[in-house]
Amino acid sequence: MRRTTRQFIVLLAWFGMLGSAAASDIFPTYDKAEISSILNHSPWPPTTRPDPSNRFSGNEKAIKLGQYLFNDQRLSRGNILACASCHQPDRLFMDGVSLNRGHQLLDRHTPGLANLRWAKWFGWDGANDNLWAQSIRPILTPAEMDSSAEHLKNLIVNDLPLSCGFKETFNVTAAATDPEKLLVFVGKALAAYQETLITEPTQFDTFVTALRQNDKEGIAAYPPSAQRGLKIFIGEGRCNLCHFGPLFTNGEFGDIGIPHFIGKGKVDKGRFGGITKLNKNPYNLLGPYSDGSEMDAIRTQHIKSQFRNFGEFKIPSLRNVGDTGPYMHNGSLATLEEVVNHYSELNEDRLHSEGEKILRPLNLTVLEKKDLVSFLQTLSAPIMVRDQTALEVSDCEK
C-alpha cells in the first residue's frame, strides 16, 4: 500500500472516531410536546388503592399467608411446583427461559409479576380481569400446577400453620369451607401478596423529576444515549402509543407480527381466545366471588370480541425490561437488541390485515438502535420484596 493511501485511511479512521465520540455525547433538547409526553410516564409509583374485588387486598394477614402459599410446592399435583418455581423472586419474578415447563411444556413465556396491582387485564391473552382469578389459573391448569380445589382443601386442613393462617386471615376454618370458596380465598391471599411487588424508582424516574423541576444538573445526569433513545421512543418510534403512562403500557393488546403458531396445525389465538375464556370464567369480576360492585367490572361488561383480536397479546410493561428477557409472548426474542431489530425491520406482511395501522418498520441506524436500548435499560430497578416469616400457630392453639 502506498504511504499516501495509508495516511488517508488513518485520517478517515481518526475522523470516524471523532464523529462517533461526538455523537455519543450529544444531549437532545425537548420541545413542549415532548416534555408533555415524557411527563406522561410519571409519577412513579402511581397512587394505590385496595382492589375492590378482593376484600383481603392490603390485609397484612392475607399478604403473609399469600407469600407463604406462593412459595409452597405442595399447592401443585405431586408437590413439585410452587408459583415461585416459575416466578422466581431472585429473577424479578420471571424465569429467564423462553418457555418453561410445568407438568407439561408451556406455550407462553412466563411474565413478570411486578406492578400488577395497577393492571386491568392479566395473562398474555387477558383471560382474567383480576389478580386473584389470575392466581387461581395456574393452580388449576393441567400443563402448569395441575391441582384442584379439593387438593388445596386437603393440604390446608391437614397442615397446622396453613390451617391456622387460613382461619386467622379469613375468620373461618378451612375444614368448614367449601373447596371452591377455599380456592378463591387462596387466590385472594396470593393476590394480596403479589400486590406488594412494586419496582423502585428508576434512573428514568429521577430524570423525569429533574425535567419537571427544570433541574439542569439532574437532566444532564441522565446519559445522553438514553436521552436520545427516549426521543425516539416518544418521537418517530411512537413506542409510547402502546407503552404509555407510568407503567409503560396502556394495558391493552396488540399484534406486532410475532408468529403465533404453537405446533403443527395449532395457533395461539391470543386475545381472541382470552375474551372467550374471560366470559366463561366464574372468577371474573361479574361472577359471584368478586367483592366489588358492577362499576368495578365496567371493562368486563363492555369488552368486545373482534376478529382483529386474533393473534393480539398483552402489551407488557417496560419497567425492568432490560433485565427480564427473553421477550414476547412466546419468549422468541432473546435480547433487547433483537426486540429493537424486530421493530426496526418489521415485516408488515405478518401483521393482521384487520389490525391497527400503527406499526411500520422504523429503519433505525446502528446508533439509534443502541440509543433505544440504552433508554430501555434505564427503566430497571429492584423490586421490593418483604422477608418471608413463618405462619404463627400460637394464636390457633389458644
Q: What is the dihedral of CA 30, 32, 38, 41, to 10 degrees?
A: 170
* Residues in touch with other proteins (CB under 8 A): 36, 40, 120, 240-242, 244-245, 250-253, 298-299, 301-304, 306, 308, 355-358
Asked whether the CA dihedral 123, 125, 130, 132 is positive or negative, the reply is negative
In the complex with other proteins, the residue whose CB is nearer, 145 or 208, is: 208
Report how far residue 172's alpha carbon sits from residue 349's, in angstroms, rounded to the nearest whole number.
Answer: 57
Closest approach of Cβ 292 to other proteins, in Å? 14
Judged by beta carbon, residue 40 or residue 213, the one nearer other proteins is: 40
CB of 58 to other proteins, least distance (A): 22
Residue whose CB is less far from other proteins, 336 or 359: 359
DSSP-assigned letter for residue 313: E
The β-bridge relationship of strands 313-314 and 253-254 is antiparallel
Run of H or E residues at 160: helix 160-170
CB-nearer residue toward other proteins: 32 or 280:
32
- Least distance to other proteins from the beta carbon of 300, Å? 10
Nearer to other proteins, 208 or 303 (CB): 303
Distance from the Cα of residue 336 to its chain's centroid: 15
CB of 343: closest distance to other proteins in angstroms?
A: 17
What's the closest the beta carbon of residue 167 comes to other proteins, in angstroms? 38
> Smallest distance, Å, CB 252 to other proteins?
5
Sequence-ordered list of residues with C-beta below 8 angstroms from that of 158, at least 6 positions apart, any chain: none
Distance between start and end Cα atoms, the chain:
93
Distance CA 207, CA 215 (A): 9
Pick between residue 101 and residue 212 the one whose CB is nearest to other proteins: 212
